[in-house]
Amino acid sequence: MSNIERMSQAIYYQLADLYDVSAIYRHGGSLIFRVKPYVEPQAASEAMRRRLASNGFEAVVSEDPDGVVITVRETPRKKIPWLNIILFLATLATMYYIYPGTPSQKIEFTGSLIAILLFHEFGHYLAGRRRGVFMSLPYFLPAPNLVGTFGAIIKSKSPFINRRDLIEVGAAGPVAGFVVAVVVLIFGLQDAQLIPSGAMSGGLILGDSLLIRLLSWLIIGPIPEGYDFLLSPAAFAGWVGLLVTMINLLPLGQLDGGHIIYGLAGRVQHQIGRFFLVAMVILGFWWQGWWFFGVMVLLFGVSHPPTLNDETPLPMPARILGIVAIIIFAISFIPAPITILME
């Protein structure tokens, strides 16, 4: 698909819920859309201009005897995304300074974790561009917590046309981040150290998923009774990456998992989401972080909104991608990710 075809598809997605688009023409560097508004013309025009402006396009609306014509072209001046850059650098700083250890250990942890998050977010971004969905650049979130970040978010600036778009854009991030997290974890586990179980009078015990247990058994071998293993900086970053992937794949609201389950099952996602919200309340008695995420979900909504055309048949590759994401969620799930050891 050429650049002009991608731009045409992306702009069409911006217009599809506001206008009935009957024809698209190309004239030089501009695209011309012949449309009929679904809603009051002035309201449709204002909404359309806001959407296109936020994505680097400008539009001119005119009328002729056959109806409304919208001429769209790219805004000439490109803005430097200073907010994205500043947040990214701040996140690197908080990751580096929050991790205890030598400078080389800090760099190993920071580089490993930021690579996982970058692949996750740009998986979304590139899949969105492929499907003609306008996506923002990722906003990384620095934080004074155990790992120095709350992860990153990326915003969809246009509606999803169908369930295929939901699955491909929603699953691309977790799948890309998962692959990098597994590579980082395999690399880091080779430097894990066996220590007596009672060697740490205070600190944290990290929970295991099925995948982490399998990889640790393959790389470290059976753990002798009375011993545990201490993760290297890279292995800890891999563990955090899998935790982030698992949380994002919860089948709730606008999380990646909400996109995927709605894409696969439609409005059945509403019932699945409520079931998982109850499960999070119960799991919170073992790890209170589940209650925090449960509150966040309630604030932003448990149920996923419909696409513009839910009835479009779901192709098999998208269905397989959705199932792969569900398998990743299952093998990465940790019921109690962190247990605090008392002094």
Share of the chain above pLDDT 90, in %: 51
Pairwise pLDDT comparison (339 vs 85), residue with the higher score: 85
Residue 168's pLDDT is 94
Residue 158's pLDDT is 66
Q: How confident is the model at residue 58 (pLDDT cuts 50, 70, 90)?
A: confident
| Topology classification of domain 3-74 | Gyrase A; domain 2 (3.30.1360)
Which tokens sit at 280? 């999070």
Which tokens sit at 103? 């400078």
Taking the CA atoms of 168, 316, 272 and 239 in sequence, report the sign of the dihedral they define. negative
**CA distances in angstroms from 340 to 98, 296, 299, 343, listed in the order given:** 18, 23, 28, 10
pLDDT tops 80 at residue 341: no
Domain boundaries, the chain: 3-74, 82-341
Tell me the C-alpha distance between 54 and 58, whole Å: 9
pTM higher than 0.85 for the full model? no
Bridge partners for 59 per DSSP:
72
Torsion from C-alpha of 248, 150, 185, 121, nearest 10 degrees? 60
pLDDT tops 70 at residue 201: no
Tens digits of residue pLDDT in 75-110: 766 678 899 999 999 999 999 999 998 999 999 999
Residue 8's pLDDT is 81
- The burial class, CB within 10 Å (0-12 / 13-18 / 19+), for 81 is middle
Residue 116's pLDDT is 97
Which tokens sit at 330? 């299952």
Residue found by looking up tokens 């971004």 in the block: 125
CB distance 71 to 60 below 8 Å: yes
- 204 contact partners, CB below 8 Å, separation of at least 6: 146, 338, 339, 340, 341
Which tokens sit at 157? 């600036």
Query: Side-chain half-sphere of 197: how many Cα atoms within 13 Å?
Result: 5
* Arithmetic mean of pLDDT over the chain: 88
Which tokens sit at 128? 């969105």
Tens digits of residue pLDDT in 114-125: 999 999 999 999
Which tokens sit at 109? 């942890």
Nearest to 69 by CA among 14, 19, 4: 19
Per-residue H/E/C for the chain:
CCHHHHHHHHHHHHHCCCEEEEEEEEECCEEEEEEEECCCHHHHHHHHHHHHHHCCEEEEEEEECCEEEEEEEECCCCCCCHHHHHHHHHHHHHHHHHCCCCHHHHHHHHHHHHHHHHHHHHHHHHHHHHCCCCECCCEEEECCCCCCEEEEECCECCCCCCHHHHHHHHHHHHHHHHHHHHHHHHHHHCCCEEEECCCCCCEEEECCCHHHHHHHHHHCCCCCCCEEEECCHHHHHHHHHHHHHHHHCCCCCCCHHHHHHHHHHCCHHHHHHHHHHHHHHHHCCCCCHHHHHHHHHHHHCCCCCCCCCCCCCCCHHHHHHHHHHHHHHHHHCCCCCEEEECC
Q: How confident is the model at residue 4 (pLDDT cuts 50, 70, 90)?
A: low
Residue 230 CA, chain-centre distance (Å), reads 29
